[in-house]
Amino acid sequence: PYQNNLNLDFLDEGKEYTATVYTDDSSLVTGTNVLIDLITVDSEFEMPINISPQKGMAIIFSEKLP
């Protein structure tokens, strides 16, 4: 598997974001086998990336509103 940390220092400093993380998970009993996680992050966060062979991952960052 591919493992690394994604440095989020490209996000605006002092703001919080919701990271919506989509990953392939063949253990799920769904039509798509996609796991969706919501994680609160900021520019100082290092997001762990773990991708199994022949699988994928997508991340959408949305600014959290006050």
pLDDT in tens, 11-48: 999 999 999 999 998 898 889 999 999 999 999 999 99
Other residues' Cβ atoms within 10 Å of the Cβ of residue 17: 19
Joined tokens for residue 25: 């998970």
- Has residue 56 got a pLDDT over 80? yes
Q: How far apart are CA 16 and CA 40, in angstroms?
A: 7
- Has residue 4 got a pLDDT over 80? yes
When pLDDT is cut at 50, 70 and 90, the band that residue 66 belongs to is: confident
Q: How far apart are CA 10 and CA 13, in angstroms?
A: 8
**What is the model's pTM?**
0.86
Q: How far apart are CA 66 and CA 52, in angstroms?
A: 36
